[in-house]
Structure 1
Amino acid sequence: MTERRTLVVVGGTSGIGRELAARRAAAGDDVVITGRDAERTAKVAAEIGDRVRGVAVELSDPAGIAAALAVIDRLDHLVVAAIDRDENTAADYDFSRAARLVTLKLVGYTEVIHALLPRLSRDGAVVLFGGQARDRPYPGSTTVSTINGGVGGLVHTLAVELAPIRVNAIHPGIVGDSPYWRGKRLDAVRARTPGGRLPTMADVADAVDFLLRNGSVNGVNLSVDNGWLLT
């Protein structure tokens, strides 16, 4: 019989975070999801199932994170999947948007870990979400590429600092059925992958499951892109 665990998914109201929450709840885990809006987060939690509850958290306001997460008594695993996007070039730089995204994804991610660490199981695991803009930049990805590189750095320092708690990150490529990419013309990208297909949300959730489950995987930045970076 598989041991019942408690998983917290920060950014679990949509996309890959929701996919993962639904997957773990169906497997028998207790799941806490977070989102920015309390009413919507509670609604999504109820839609996923009885084992899921919602908590409102705003990562771009680090001062409020600890109080928002105080309702969580204990957890075995933590996934920080909350993301945002920012089209920002050096030539046409909006520093306020850049500062918000840096705060959300680097300061906010770290404050979530800080707030929950006393209640996180010592044999637990943390998975952070980066992205492949860190290795494959594009016009307008100045902030996004920099931050996702920073997530890689967080993984390395936290894996050492939080030991024996394991810390890894997932860096998805273009996820074809995600809310952002669904319906867009992606044939050219798909054709460039050696496998001839784009990752799905289920593929990424399965990879997160692996990082949470495997006790010998630690300090790893895992790409899920069907080999896109090779081409």
Structure 2
Amino acid sequence: MSSLVVIGGTAGIGRAIAQRAAGRGDEVVVTGRDPDRTKAIAEEIAADVPGSARGIALDISDPTTIGAALADVDHVDHLVVAAIERDQNTATNYDVARAIRLVTLKLVGYTEVIHTLLPRIAKSGSIVLFGGLAKDRPYPGSTTVSTVNGGVTGLVHTLAVELAPIRVNAVHPGIIADTPFWEGKPLDHVVNRTPIGRTATTDEVVGATEFLLFNGGVNGVHLAVDGGWMLT
């Protein structure tokens, strides 16, 4: 049995990662911003295996609160930092407050989570950070999103060296049609240019994350899960 912490584990891909881990008997901690919702979702995750999951309220866009929020997490085998926010911010109409929040969440918040938990992460453990393919294929309004996802690349490279032998990798999902954000949106233009003829799925991103967590020979890797979309 392993211990897994999923930062941003109350919805979408983060929740699916936590659900699968709890199902195989791991001890799981999930975080989310809203205390009541986080507690309720942790209970749902643990429904089949009572006590396998618990929730902690945490907003990593305020890094000064991270240490106290995670103080009672006493041991970590594997850490997934999947917390994200959507942002539509252009250089023409630049919202400084929104940009600062997202940069803080994704770069400072991610790093502070690792700093806080590092003394409790097993030397044989692993960390997976979530980036995204906007770093390689920007779109109008992705000014901040593309920048911070590119920053995740730098984080992985430096942390894989600094934290050795703890392994650090990143997963970069493309458009995942069965996630809450994309579900129901017209995506034919994406599917038509994706070699596998569909978008990747949540289950496939979970599998990619587990590969990065558990394969001891993989370190400092950036794994795109997009069905080959970036090739076209």
CA distance in 2, matches of 1:117, 1:133: 29
State the Cα RMSD in Å: 0.5
The residue correspondences of 1:92-107 to structure 2 (distance < 5 A) are 92-107=93-108
Work out the CA distance in 1 between the residues paired with 2:33 and 2:177.
Answer: 25
Indicate the residue corresponding to 1:17 in structure 2: 14
Q: Give the secondary structure class of the aligned counterpart of 1:126.
A: strand
| 1:6-62 Cα distance to aligned partner (Å, 9 max, x none) | 000000000000000001111111100000011110000001112010001110111
Tell me how far apart the structure 2 counterparts of residues 191 and 86 of structure 1 sit (CA, whole Å): 25
Distance 2:152 2:31 in 1: 20
Q: Distance in 2 between matches of 1:174 and 1:32?
A: 26
**How far does residue 71 in structure 1 lie from its aligned partner after superposition?**
1.3
> Runs of 4 or more off by more than 4 Å in structure 1?
none
SS in 1 for 2:6: strand
Q: Helix, strand or coil: the match of 2:30? A: strand
TM-score normalised according to structure 2 size: 0.98
1:68-121 Cα distance to aligned partner (Å, 9 max, x none):
000101010000000001101111101110000000010000000000000000
The residue number in structure 2 matching 1:187 is 188
Distance apart, 1:134 and its partner CA: 0.1
Cα distance in 2 for partners of 1:23, 1:60 equals 26
**CA displacement at 1:210 relative to structure 2:** 0.3
Within the candidate set 10, 24, 27, 1:27 is matched to 24
The alpha-carbon deviation at position 182 of structure 1 amounts to 0.3
Which residue matches 1:122?
123
Provide the identity percentage. Answer: 66
Q: Distance in 1 between matches of 2:62 and 2:188?
A: 38
Note the residue ranges of structure 2 that are not aligned, 5 or more in a row. none
Using the size of structure 1 for normalisation, the TM-score is 0.98
Aligned-partner residue type, residue 87 of structure 2: D
Superimposed CA distance per residue, residues 141-196 of structure 1 (whole angstroms, 9 cap, x where no aligned partner): 00000000000110000000000000000000000100000000111101111010
Provide the secondary structure at the position in 2 that maps to 1:192: coil
One-letter amino acid of the counterpart of residue 74, structure 2: D
Gaps of at least 5 residues in structure 1 are: none
Separation in 1, partners of 2:106, 2:58 = 13
User: Which residue in 2 is equivalent to 1:205?
Assistant: 206
Structure 2 counterparts to residues 17-96 of structure 1, below 5 A: 17-49=14-46, 50=50, 51-96=52-97
Q: SS of 2:168's equivalent?
A: strand
Provide Cα deviations, 1:119-140, integer angstroms capped at 9, x if missing partner.
Answer: 0000000000000000000000
What residue is the counterpart of 1:6 in the other structure? 3
Q: Distance in 1 between matches of 2:207 and 2:216?
A: 16
**Structure 2 Cα separation of the partners of residues 21 and 169 of structure 1:** 17
Q: What are the residue-to-residue correspondences of 1:134-145 with 2, within 5 Å?
A: 134-145=135-146
